[in-house]
């Protein structure tokens, strides 16, 4: 058992992530989704209250392994980063101050009545098959898995079905009941820009007049790969939101050129560059639009991460606009994590840091993050075989060539075999 100060997470009380089409919720974007039954509370059901109680008692439930693993390595976690936010820290301090050994499952302290952030994954419709994604989040992956008989037709239909009306109403009830508290609304996917319900939901959110104008925001995670007609529609939405609200567009990208197209299969690198340029040009004139790059740190991205950071900082110079970087680390499976790489790739991360230090704008927090990644390289190299086997299967299905684009991984693999 740990000191509750090291296990209490305010996100368990004031954050909800909803996968609308599958009737699933989670009270942190790094935990497992749980299916909700009709008539059951989305934010105060027994499972959720049990997890909150465990935090107050100092237990580390496996639901939160993502954060526990990072914190045990001395790395920043979603939990610790949340405490840098004033509102989250106030809730944390309140929970710590009111904690007691006498608290049981029926105690009011376990009830959430103040949702601050809601994230909506409206559908799994997506035009990409990113190598670390799966059929739950991407319709393209679901189609490939069906073709390869990894899932059957019934499982496929469940993944792409329309939302149940009762669940959708439950989500809107939560939004309406917390309209004075919600200050952050997020959209993930699938790919939001391709989903009609995304644009309809934006309209409905604006009609509700949530508490977004003061220190609030809307954020959208996108692969920025939409073709011209669809991206024009997305741009129109950007202008609409930023008339009255801060909008952060998180672009999911962590590599460049052909490697980016391999990692995020289906991506058109040239089109992504063009779309990002359009957004940066708007951001230069519109202070309500913030561009955020959300690179996924893992075994595939670290060996060439300096090239990615160089590309990003050059974009800043070209447009005179600060780009934010979102801290994101793959936690599972172990063979996908950056720790399977040898320490020689510290040099690559040092080069990335040099590009950030020489950038037009300050990126001190992200430099600190990369330094923490650097210190954990080489701590789990025996798991590299799982990575190689996974990509051999991907190549067999898609006709791609992993080792041609990532030759350093063959060297790592051969060195590992000879240990």
Report domain extents, the chain. Answer: 4-110, 119-417
Q: Is 199 exposed, middle or buried (0-12, 13-18, 19+ CB in 10 A)?
A: middle
Mean pLDDT of 96-121: 92
Q: Is the pLDDT of residue 379 over 90?
A: no
Q: What is the pLDDT of residue 417?
A: 67
So what's the pLDDT on residue 387?
86
Taking CA atoms, 27 is separated from 39, 43, 68, 123, in Å, by 18, 8, 16, 18
DSSP 290: E
For residue 190, whether the previous peptide bond is cis, meaning omega lies within 30 degrees of 0, is: yes
Could you tell me which of 77, 75, 134, 133 has the C-alpha nearest to residue 339?
A: 75
Side-chain-side CA neighbours of 354 within 13 Å: the count stands at 8
Q: Rounded mean pLDDT of 58-76? A: 87
Separation CA 208–CA 355 (nearest Å): 43
pLDDT tens by residue, 131-174:
989 998 999 999 999 998 999 999 999 888 888 999 999 999 99
pLDDT band at 384 (very low <50, low <70, confident <90, very high): confident
Q: What is the strand order of the sheet 217-222 is part of? A: 34-35, 24-26, 15-19, 117-121, 184-188, 217-222, 247-251, 289-293, 324-325
With 80 as the cut, is the pLDDT of residue 365 above it?
yes
State the pLDDT at residue 141. Answer: 93
Q: What average pLDDT does the structure give for the chain?
A: 92
Considering only CA atoms, give the Rg of the chain: 21
Which pLDDT does position 159 carry in this prediction? Answer: 87
pLDDT at 206: 85
pLDDT exceeds cutoff 80 at 419: no
Q: Each residue of 70-88: pLDDT tens digit?
A: 888 888 888 999 999 888 9
pLDDT band at 321 (very low <50, low <70, confident <90, very high): very high
Answer for the pair 35, 24: CB distance below 8 angstroms, yes or no: yes
Q: Which CATH code is given to the segment(s) 119-417?
A: 3.80.30.10
Q: How distant is the alpha carbon of residue 159 from its chain centre?
A: 20
Per-residue pLDDT, averaged over 41-60, amounts to: 93
Question: What's the gap between Cα 147 and its chain centre?
Answer: 27
pLDDT for res 378: 87
0.75 exceeded by pTM: yes
Residue 356 in this model has a pLDDT that exceeds 80: yes
Give the lowest-confidence range in 68-82, 309-323, 376-390.
Answer: 376-390
Q: What is the mean pLDDT of residues 226-234?
A: 97
């Amino acid at each position: 058992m740990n000191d509750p100060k090291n296990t209490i997470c305010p996100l368990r009380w004031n954050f909800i992530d909803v996968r609308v089409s599958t009737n699933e919720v989670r009270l942190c974007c790094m935990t497992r989704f749980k299916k909700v039954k009709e008539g059951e509370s989305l934010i105060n059901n027994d499972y959720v209250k049990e997890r909150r109680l465990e935090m107050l008692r100092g237990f580390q439930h496996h639901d939160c392994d993502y954060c526990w693993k990072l914190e045990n390595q001395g790395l920043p976690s979603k939990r610790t980063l949340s405490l840098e936010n004033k509102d989250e820290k106030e809730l944390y301090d309140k929970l710590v101050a009111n904690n007691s050994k006498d608290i049981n499952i029926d105690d009011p302290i376990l009830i959430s009545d103040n949702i601050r952030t809601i994230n909506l994954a409206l559908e799994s419709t997506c035009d990409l098959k990113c190598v670390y994604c799966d059929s739950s989040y991407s319709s393209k992956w679901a189609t490939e898995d069906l073709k390869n008989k990894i899932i059957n037709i019934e499982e496929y239909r469940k993944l792409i079905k329309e939302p149940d009306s009762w669940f959708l109403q439950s989500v809107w009830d939560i939004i309406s009941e917390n309209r004075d508290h919600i200050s952050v609304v997020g959209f993930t996917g699938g790919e939001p820009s391709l989903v009609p319900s995304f644009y309809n939901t934006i309209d409905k959110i604006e009609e509700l007049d949530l508490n977004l104008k003061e220190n609030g925001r809307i954020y959208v995670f996108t692969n920025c790969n939409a073709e011209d007609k669809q991206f024009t529609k997305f741009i129109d939405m950007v202008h609409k939101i930023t008339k009255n609200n801060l909008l952060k567009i998180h672009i999911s990208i962590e590599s460049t050129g052909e490697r980016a197209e391999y990692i995020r299969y289906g991506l058109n690198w040239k089109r992504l560059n063009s779309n990002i340029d359009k957004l940066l040009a708007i951001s230069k004139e519109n202070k309500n639009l913030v561009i955020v790059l959300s690179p996924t740190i893992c075994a595939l991205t670290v060996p060439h991460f300096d090239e990615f950071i160089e590309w990003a900082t050059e974009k800043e110079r070209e447009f005179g606009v600060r780009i934010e970087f979102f801290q994101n680390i793959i936690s599972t499976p172990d063979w996908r994590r950056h720790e399977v790489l040898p320490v020689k790739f510290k040099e690559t991360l040092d080069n990335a840091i040099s590009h950030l230090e020489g950038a037009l704008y300050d990126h001190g927090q992200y430099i600190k993050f990369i330094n923490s990644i650097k210190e954990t390289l080489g701590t789990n190299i025996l798991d590299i075989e799982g990575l190689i086997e996974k990509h051999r299967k991907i190549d067999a299905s898609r006709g791609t060539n992993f080792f041609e684009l990532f030759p350093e991984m063959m060297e790592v693999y051969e060195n590992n075999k000879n240990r």
